[in-house]
Amino acid sequence: MNKTYLILLVVIALGMGAILSMYGDSSSYVSFAEAQKLQKEVHVVGQLVQPDSILYEPLENPNYFTFLLEDEEGKTKKIIYRNAKPNDFDKSEKVVVVGKMNGANFEASNILLKCPSKYEAEIAQQ
């Protein structure tokens, strides 16, 4: 039965490895204040409170997009995303930014959008 146990042991070890790696690689949802402290890549969930702050000037630089985001503690930071402005951005109310703080600004490597379901808004208008 030695072989069976050996295989079982390897499988369990790999399974545990997968669990540990899931836990170790996982990031966390934090506020800007914590992101400042941690100085590593994190997820920040926030609201677009100032639609006027959305700035994308493709003629100047098509890979530079900034806006102001208010996190769940009510703190607002400038987000810099060195890429084109994501489609559907203006429609989204909730935004998740992935990245880290760089001085006073948040350098986003990725932006995830949550759009409100469009039909609720329409019916409200009627």
Residue 28's nearest CA partner among 40, 36, 16 is 40
Taking CB atoms within 8 Å and a gap of at least 24, the contacts of 78-81 are 78/53, 78/104, 78/105, 78/106, 79/105, 79/106, 79/108, 79/111, 80/105, 80/106, 80/107, 80/108, 81/108, 81/111
Q: Which of 9, 33, 38, 114 binds other proteins (CB under 8 A)?
A: 114
Q: Which of residues 91-110 bind other proteins (CB under 8 A)?
A: 91, 96, 98, 109
Compose the 61-80 pattern: x for residues touching other proteins by CB under 8 A, - for all others.
xxxx----------------
Binding site for other proteins (CB under 8 A): 1, 3-4, 7, 11, 14-15, 18-19, 21-23, 25-29, 41-43, 45, 56, 58-59, 61-64, 82-85, 87-91, 96, 98, 109, 112, 114-115, 117-119, 122-123, 126
